[in-house]
Chains A and B, each alone.
Chain A
């Protein structure tokens, strides 16, 4: 079984602070996705990284895929209340069909207060 452990599980910070969320596994993945889920809604994709060592930036969010493609991190600069939500990493495996094979992480619940 491929497990993805996220840390921390919970994070409560004030607006303007920086934070990093980690996603670790002993398994190698062909790709790594990050989703954000807000209360009462389904997860929404933020980014997909596919190359070991890859870094992607999305405004104040920086995503990195580990060199060995076993881990990833999400760094948020100057957090805002709108960043509040559940952050999920998901490791992808190659498939022969057209269905995605994703293993989801344990999740990090972020709360950003004024």
Chain B
């Protein structure tokens, strides 16, 4: 079983569709993240969950709705997206002590989203 698993790997949706991305981590970590990776842009942090509580929302439009039912699962619900939302969405998890600064992020393989 790989550390962080994302499904689906590829998704094509219309602007009026509702879909969800799923992420599952088998590493026992307490923090989970959604990142957006677009061409010619740095990885953009979208949401952070720590012990199932959302601790960061980087001004993400409300058409992206995260859900974290437990420390091992993270969802990203998508509705009425725009073509510019087409990107690779990466899920990650981590576990570290604050005194150690930023810990290692373990990424999934990503979900490639295309919005028509």
**A residues apposed to B, CB below 8 Å:** 4, 30-31, 33, 35, 40-45, 48, 50, 88, 90-107
A90 to B92 alpha-carbon distance, docked (Å) = 14
A95 touches B104 (CB 8 A): no
**B residues apposed to A, CB below 8 Å:** 4, 30-31, 33, 41-43, 45, 48-51, 55-56, 90, 92, 94-98, 101-110
A50 touches B96 (CB 8 A): no
B109 touches A33 (CB 8 A): no
Q: What are 8 A-B residue pairs whose CB atoms fall within 8 Å in the complex? A: A4-B42, A43-B43, A48-B104, A90-B43, A97-B31, A99-B48, A104-B43, A107-B42
Name the distance in Å between A32's Cβ and chain B's nearest Cβ: 9
Q: Which residues of A contact B95 (CB under 8 A)?
A: 98
Known: A4-B42, A94-B98, A96-B98. A102 touches B105 (CB 8 A): yes
In the complex formed, the residue of A with least CB distance to B51 is A98
In the complex formed, the residue of B with least CB distance to A86 is B37
B109 touches A42 (CB 8 A): yes
Residue in A44, A101, A105 with the greatest tally of chain B CB atoms within 10 Å: A101
In the complex formed, the residue of B with least CB distance to A105 is B42
Known: A4-B42, A94-B98. A44 touches B31 (CB 8 A): no
Known: A42-B90, A88-B43, A105-B42. A100 touches B98 (CB 8 A): no
A69 to B74 alpha-carbon distance, docked (Å) = 33
A50 to B4 alpha-carbon distance, docked (Å) = 26
